[in-house]
């Protein structure tokens, strides 16, 4: 079997790893084994949290919409149901933005929803 020294390859790999772990705490940015473990763990967290971020933002938007809807005298579920009934296709991100930055437009939207909610439901005989 031929002899392998891998001087430059090893240095390049360690350099790449130290670039990833730059700024990590104590030995996690200094010692090779610790650098490797820290980089692996960081990669796993990053992968997981890219998916988690979508959930977290949706939850935040729903909380903001719910709070603004209750200030206007309607619940979150009633608001969403009313928007579907009116065929208003606006996503939760934009609703939350309206609730925070443009309360008048949001209140107008809620009044339109309230009008559809208070209308009596037609019962279809089967």
Given this model, what pLDDT does residue 3 score? 86
The contacts of residue 74 (CB under 8 Å, 6+ apart) are 82, 110, 113, 114, 117
Rounded-to-integer distance, Cα 87 and Cα 69, Å: 18
Mean pLDDT for the chain overall: 93
Domains of the chain: 7-118 (1.10.1900.20)
pLDDT tens-digit map of 66-108 = 999 999 999 999 999 999 999 999 999 999 999 999 999 999 9
């Amino acid at each position: 079997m031929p002899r392998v020294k891998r001087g430059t390859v090893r240095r390049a790999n360690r350099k790449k790893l130290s670039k990833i772990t730059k700024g990590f705490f104590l030995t996690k940015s200094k010692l090779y084994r610790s650098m490797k473990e820290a980089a692996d763990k960081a990669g796993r967290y990053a992968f997981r949290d890219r998916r988690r971020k979508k959930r977290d933002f949706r939850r935040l938007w729903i909380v903001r919409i719910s709070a603004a809807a209750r200030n206007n005298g309607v619940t979150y579920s009633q608001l969403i149901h009313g928007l579907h009934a009116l065929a208003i296709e606006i996503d939760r991100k934009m609703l939350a933005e309206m609730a925070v930055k443009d309360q008048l437009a949001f209140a107008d939207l809620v009044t339109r929803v309230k009008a559809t909610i208070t209308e009596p439901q037609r019962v279809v005989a089967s």
